[in-house]
């Protein structure tokens, strides 16, 4: 159980001498969120999309997995089955109505190993040192502040944890991310690419990344400029 401590008003909530952290802007267009659904679930299951992605990502029984940009929960539901009763899935979306609809689905399907929460566009707000895998499927190109997002994501990974990105190999404004750009943005925040493979069943590729070394200071992050 988490204990809540009330503010007694004796100390300011924000120190006046603290400076806001400044992250570089991404030198690329950002795709607009157009739907909570990437494709029809039945069509995705016919090509075993989730099964292939989870296997390629090494997701197994007992793991703790975050599903970022969970939408209607296509992966959330299947992750819950894959990790089993001893595993955990945290499903997150930044749209409150989408989060609420997914929470209703999770409750309706009685998925006791799944929790649902609301994130923000620049911060997934995940608990520290908690996740074996963080999954982002067809949503990375919608992140307007990738350096800040990835910087704030890093502490949530376990020492051997991986970030798993599934996206299409096309320009960001066309709802994809070129693999070279993806790798550059991750490396700028101190991640190392572990794998990259074609994933036709998911409409693109699958890449995995591991955090290495110390997390850079925000002002030391050098933005990627790819032409």
Q: Which pLDDT belongs to residue 17?
A: 47
* Sign of the four-CA dihedral 119, 123, 126, 132: positive
Residue 210 · residue 194 · CB < 8 Å = yes
- Residues 140-181: tens digit of each pLDDT: 999 999 999 999 999 999 999 999 999 999 999 899 999 999
Q: Is the pLDDT of residue 7 over 50?
A: no
CA 116 to CA 132: how far, in whole Å? 17
DSSP 64: E
- Residues 21-72: tens digit of each pLDDT: 789 999 888 877 655 455 689 999 999 999 999 999 999 999 999 999 999 9
Q: What percent of the chain has pLDDT over 90?
A: 80
Task: Tell me which H or E stretch contains 207.
Answer: strand 204-211
Q: Which pLDDT belongs to residue 21?
A: 78
Q: Is the pLDDT of residue 4 over 70?
A: no
Q: What percent of the chain has pLDDT over 70?
A: 88
Residue 198 CB-density burial (10 A; 0-12 exposed, 13-18 middle, 19+ buried) = exposed
Which whole number is the average pLDDT over 107-133?
96
Q: Is the pLDDT of residue 1 over 50?
A: no
Confidence band (pLDDT; 50, 70, 90) for 18? Answer: low
Q: Is the pLDDT of residue 10 over 60?
A: no
Residue 160 · residue 201 · CB < 8 Å = no
Query: DSSP states of 102-145 as a string?
Result: HHHHHHHTT-TTEEEEE-BTTB--PPTT-EEEEEEES-GGG-S-
Task: Tell me which H or E stretch contains 149.
Answer: helix 146-153
Residue 127 · residue 154 · CB < 8 Å = no
Has this prediction a pTM greater than 0.85? yes
Q: Is the pLDDT of residue 9 over 90?
A: no
- Rank 7-16, 30-39, 182-191 by mean pLDDT and report only the highest: 182-191
Q: Which pLDDT belongs to residue 163?
A: 98
């Amino acid at each position: 159980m988490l204990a809540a401590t009330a503010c007694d008003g004796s100390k300011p909530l924000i120190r006046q001498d603290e400076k806001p952290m400044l992250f570089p802007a991404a030198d690329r267009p950002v795709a607009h969120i157009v739907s909570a659904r990437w494709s029809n679930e039945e069509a995705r299951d016919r090509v075993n999309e989730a099964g292939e992605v989870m296997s390629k990502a090494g997701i197994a029984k007992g793991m703790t997995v975050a599903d970022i940009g969970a939408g209607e929960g296509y992966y959330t539901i299947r992750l819950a089955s894959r990790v089993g009763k001893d595993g955990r899935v945290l499903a997150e979306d930044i749209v409150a109505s989408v989060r609420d609809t997914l929470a209703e689905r999770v409750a309706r399907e009685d998925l006791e190993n799944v929790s649902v929460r609301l994130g923000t566009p620049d911060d997934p707000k995940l608990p520290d040192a908690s996740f074996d895998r963080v999954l982002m499927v067809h949503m990375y190109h919608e992140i307007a502040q990738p350096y800040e997002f990835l910087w704030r994501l890093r502490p949530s990974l376990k020492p051997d944890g991986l970030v798993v990105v599934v996206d299409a190999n096309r320009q960001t404004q066309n709802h994809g991310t070129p693999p070279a750009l993806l790798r550059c943005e991750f490396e700028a925040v101190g991640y190392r690419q572990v794998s990259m493979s074609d994933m036709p069943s998911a409409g693109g590729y699958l890449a995995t990344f591991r955090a290495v070394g110390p997390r850079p200071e925000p002002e030391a992050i050098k933005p990627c400029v790819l032409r």
